[in-house]
Structure 1
Amino acid sequence: MEQAGLIAGSLGAFVGLAIALMANLFVLPAVLKAQEDGFILGRKTALGTMSQESVARFTRFMYRVPMPLMFAFVGFLAGLKAFGGY
């Protein structure tokens, strides 16, 4: 892989991580609030019989670990594709 492709991919990964960071800061609180409201209203979850705290913990984990990794990987590939490195 040439250096320009690596730079383009790295910039794409950075953009993906920035999007994941913004989701953690702005979207995650709204998602947790909606889940809390759903539990108060008695809605059933797709996760079965998990408690409210367990669902909130699982949601935080998904937003903070797998999502940034996935967004960085997809951003890397998009940077390569957009700037001709792939």
Structure 2
Amino acid sequence: MIETPVMAGSLGALIGLIIALVANLVVLPAVLKAQDDGFVLGRQWTPSKMSKESLARLTRFMYRVPMPVLFAFVGYFAGLRAFGGL
């Protein structure tokens, strides 16, 4: 049966994308606020002396592009394992 692995993996990938969407809507604003508070208190990101705007832009990019792709990929294989595709 070729349909079972595809359906199981797709369901897992969908769940991964939903988790990434919730992270974008709920977690990302909290992370950006914490970063902004850190700059107000004088803390800076140690590996690089990035400006507040460039660090916020990098954080938004990471939450909106690589994270959903990674969550969908991991969710696909988790779906295969959890829902009996393998």
Give the deviation of 1:63 after TM superposition. 0.1
TM-score, structure 1 as length reference: 0.95
Find out whether 1:85 has 2:85 as its counterpart.
yes
Equivalence for 2:57: 57
Is 1:10 paired with 2:10?
Answer: yes
The residue type equivalent to 2:9 in the other structure is G
Deviations 1:42-73 (A, max 9, x none): 01203411100000000000000000000000
- C-alpha root-mean-square deviation of aligned residues, in Å? 1.1
How many residue pairs get aligned? The number is 86
Note the 1:29-68 alignment, pairs <5 A.
Answer: 29-68=29-68
Q: Please, which moves more after superposition, 39-48 or 11-20?
A: 39-48
- Identity over aligned pairs, percent: 67
Match of 1:75 in 2: 75
Letter aligned with residue 19 of structure 2:
I
Cα distance between partner residues in 2 of 1:10 and 1:61: 24
Distance in 1, Cα, partners of 2:6 & 2:28 = 31
Structure 2 unmatched runs, 5+: none
